[in-house]
Each structure stands twice: as structure tokens, then as C-alpha cells.
């Protein structure tokens, strides 16, 4: 097949990890006879430096014209005081592309058991869950601002969800669960928040369309505790933008390293955006130390979810797993190799 992939390397370690994933994608194209055309555009701090804005209109246009987008990372101290911060670009492009569902799989690789933050007896029961995070609504996009209250200056952010926003992301969670262990756990704060009550109503009603899927509901504080105590109980976690941001970092810690956690952001079309869930790690930038695996696995998700190339996705995932099994990796997972060398090892395992 032919596909147009737009890369957005961004800041910090972004360019290095994107370069790794592109090398792996090129190898995949060669091995399976596909034609991937790669384009590149500016985002984040790099875009601020070049154009003054973190998300230039040309970048949005290029993303709309691509079949899928591969993002590195954005942000860094350098732009902390910029009028519009690099992170705004991330939120902006998610919104522009209508990517309302963010899939963050957390699967424990056998070789990384020792790197998990949890005790062996917990980890031995296995961890294989996916957080489905709502990505274009809630408090990230709600009304916000400053105002003057009785005691002076106040700042506020609002959490607001419409039924339609809840339903469309819930459908993605249910459909995913149908292909997995058929369990969805809705994570919310319905004992306090009105928006959570609407989530419960909409998600419960929708369960009728997915009768083979069991729906559980859990308050977010308990969910955080359960992820640390008994993560094997979860299959698909469905949650809001803010709770999903927080819990997915926790799921990264329990599977060993945020350096191996990929993600896919999807919407109404197959044009998805794929990125590691970690940030730009400015202190590691340019040092060939960053773990490329999260971005490489994100590229595998792209092949599966945007291009329907299951075998190709698996070939990458297997090569990553075999690399880890061989005890090879970057420092964050206890290895001694650099970014490029880990990428070489993964590619070497795709030759067969
Ligand atoms: C993530 C990140 C972003 C988010 C930040 C950088 C805005 O933490 O993708 O999880 O909160 O969505
Ligand atoms: Mg985050």
C-alpha cells in the first residue's frame, strides 16, 4: 500500500525518537513491499523559534493532507515564558484533527518485570490494559480564566462534557474491549462531579449496544489505588481527559518505564496521530540516550489502526520484544545502549 506519513519531531528528544521510528517504518515498508512517503512539519518550541507560533497553519494543513501523523514531543524550559507555550500545540492539533479518543496501552513485557515499580508477586499476575482517554474535551478545553472574587484574584478551569462527546469515546472503548477481554471500567468521580454522573448514564445506556462487554465503574481515587495494588483486574479503562492523563502515567510506571508506552489518538476518520506518552526530556536531548521504544511502538499502532496492517504491526512489536528479551535497552530500563543502537537492534530483528 501507499501512505503519506507526516512527522512532527518537535522538541527535546523528539527528533531523535522520531528518526528511530522512521527508520523502523522504512524497514517495514521494504520488508512488506509498501510505499511510505514521509513529510515533516514544525510543532512546539521548534515552531515558536521558527515562526513565532507553536502550531503554524501549514502544520495543520499538512496534517489534514496526511494519512497519519507521527509526533515526537513538545516543550522545554526555554519556552516556559513564551506567550503561547509549546504544549498548546499538542492540544491544538488534537482538536484540529478531531482526535477525541486516546488509546494508551500498558502491557508488561516479560523482560521488563524487574523494571516495574510493583513487587514481583503483583507483576507476576500480568498487566495488560488500555486506557481510553477522552482527548478533546473536559477541563483541558473548558472555559477558563481569571476573575476577581471576594478575596481578590481567582483563577478557574471548568470540566464540561456533552453526551455526544462521552458517547463517541465510549464506543471506541467498547469496541476495543470486544476485541480484548470484554471488560470496560469507567473511571470517574461520580460521588462529587456532575459531569461524572452524565458519563455514568451515557456509558451505562450504551452498554446495551455491546452486550458481551462487562461494564464496571470506579471512582478515580480508588482506581489509582487498584492500579497499584491489583492491576491485573483491568482490561479497558475509559475515562476523561484529565483523569486519563494522570492515570496513564501511573500505568507507565507499573509496566516498567514511560519510555516504552505508545499511544494512538483517533477520531472519526482513520487519520490518527501517534506519539509516545512521555515528554520532550530536554536534559536528554541530543545525547543519544532517549528510549526510542515508545515511539517505535506508536508507529506499530499506526500501521495497525490507520493502515490496517496487522502483520506489519506485529513484526515491529515482536522485534521490540525480542530486543528486550535479549537484555538490550536504554538506561531507563536498566540497559546500556543508546537510542541509535537500540533502533539498530530492533531493525536487525526484523530482517528475517
Ligand atoms: C500527555 C501530556 C500532555 C497532556 C501535556 C504535555 C499537555 O502530558 O500527552 O499526556 O496533558 O495531554
Ligand atoms: Mg501526560
For the chain, give the number of residues: 352
161 is a catalytic site residue: no
The pLDDT of residue 99? 98
> Nearest-CA neighbor of 56 among 102, 3, 6, 17?
6
The pLDDT of residue 269? 82
Dmax (CA) for the chain in angstroms is 70
Residue of minimum CA distance from atom 5 in ligand 1: 87
What distance in Å separates the CA atoms of residue 6 and residue 38, rounded to the nearest whole number?
6
Distance 263 CA to ligand 1 centre (A): 11
Pocket around ligand 1 at a 6 A CB cut-off: 87, 90, 245, 277
Q: Which stretches within 97-210 are classed as H helix?
A: 120-123, 163-178, 194-206
Report if pTM > 0.85: yes
Atom of ligand 1 nearest to the CA of 135: 12
Instruction: From residue 31, give the alpha-carbon distance in Å to each of 6, 28, 98, 247, 342.
Output: 21, 5, 32, 37, 19
Q: Kindly give the parts of the chain with pLDDT less than 70.
A: 352
Which bound ligand lies closest to the C-alpha atom of 133?
1
Only one residue has cell 537484555, namely 327
The pLDDT of residue 351? 80
Only one residue has cell 507521527, namely 70
Contact of 280 with 12, CB cutoff 8 Å:
yes
What distance in Å separates the CA atoms of residue 239 and residue 75, rounded to the nearest whole number?
25
Atom of ligand 1 nearest to the CA of 75: 6
> What's the DSSP call for residue 167?
H
Distance 140 CA to ligand 1 centre (A): 10
What residues contact residue 28 under an 8 Å CB cut-off, 6+ apart? 34, 303, 312, 315, 316, 350
The pLDDT of residue 7? 98
221 is a catalytic site residue: yes
Atom of ligand 1 nearest to the CA of 102: 9
What distance in Å separates the CA atoms of residue 40 and residue 29, rounded to the nearest whole number?
18
Question: Beta-carbon neighbour count of residue 204 at 10 Å?
Answer: 13
The pLDDT of residue 257? 86
325 is a catalytic site residue: no
Residue of minimum CA distance from atom 4 in ligand 1: 245
- ∠ CA(342), CA(347), CA(352), 5° rounding? 140
The pLDDT of residue 352? 65
Which bound ligand lies closest to the C-alpha atom of 262?
1
Amino acid at each position: 500500500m501507499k501512505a503519506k506519513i507526516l512527522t512532527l519531531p518537535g522538541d527535546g528528544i523528539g527528533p531523535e525518537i522520531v528518526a528511530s521510528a522512521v527508520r523502523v517504518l522504512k524497514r517495514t515498508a521494504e520488508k512488506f513491499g509498501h510505499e511510505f512517503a514521509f513529510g515533516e512539519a514544525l510543532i512546539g518550541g521548534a515552531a515558536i523559534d521558527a515562526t513565532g507560533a507553536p502550531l503554524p497553519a501549514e502544520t495543520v494543513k499538512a496534517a489534514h493532507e496526511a494519512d497519519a501523523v507521527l509526533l515526537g514531543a513538545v516543550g522545554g524550559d526555554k519556552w516556559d515564558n513564551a506567550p503561547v507555550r509549546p504544549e498548546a500545540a499538542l492540544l491544538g492539533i488534537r482538536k484540529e484533527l478531531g482526535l477525541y479518543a486516546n488509546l494508551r496501552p500498558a502491557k508488561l513485557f516479560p523482560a521488563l518485570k524487574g523494571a516495574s515499580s510493583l513487587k514481583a508477586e503483583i507483576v507476576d499476575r500480568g498487566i495488560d490494559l488500555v486506557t481510553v482517554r477522552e482527548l478533546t474535551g473536559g477541563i483541558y478545553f473548558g472555559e477558563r480564566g481569571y476573575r476577581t472574587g471576594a478575596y481578590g484574584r481567582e483563577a478557574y478551569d471548568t470540566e464540561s462534557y456533552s453526551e455526544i462527546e462521552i458517547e463517541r469515546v465510549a464506543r471506541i472503548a467498547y469496541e476495543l474491549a470486544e476485541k480484548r477481554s470484554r471488560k470496560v471500567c469507567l473511571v470517574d468521580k461520580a460521588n462529587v462531579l456532575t459531569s461524572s454522573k452524565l458519563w455514568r448514564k451515557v456509558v451505562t445506556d450504551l452498554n446495551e449496544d455491546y452486550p458481551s462487554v462487562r461494564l464496571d465503574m470506579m471512582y478515580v481515587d480508588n482506581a489509582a489505588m487498584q492500579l497499584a495494588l491489583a492491576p491485573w483486574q483491568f482490561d479497558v479503562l475509559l475515562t476523561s481527559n484529565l483523569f486519563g492523563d494522570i492515570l496513564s502515567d501511573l500505568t507507565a510506571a507499573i509496566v516498567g518505564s514511560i519510555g516504552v508506552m505508545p499511544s494512538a489518538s483517533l477520531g472519526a476518520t482513520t487519520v490518527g496521530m501517534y506519539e509516545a506518552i512521555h515528554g520532550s526530556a530536554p536534559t536528554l536531548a541530543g545525547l543519544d540516550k532517549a528510549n526510542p521504544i515508545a515511539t517505535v511502538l506508536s508507529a506499530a499502532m499506526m500501521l495497525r489502526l490507520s493502515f490496517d496492517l496487522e502483520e506489519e504491526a506485529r513484526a515491529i512489536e515482536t522485534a521490540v520484544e525480542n530486543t528486550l528479551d535479549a537484555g538490550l535497552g536504554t538506561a531507563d530500563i536498566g540497559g546500556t545502549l543508546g537510542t541509535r543502537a537500540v533502533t539498530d537492534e530492533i531493525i536487525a530483528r526484523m530482517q528475517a
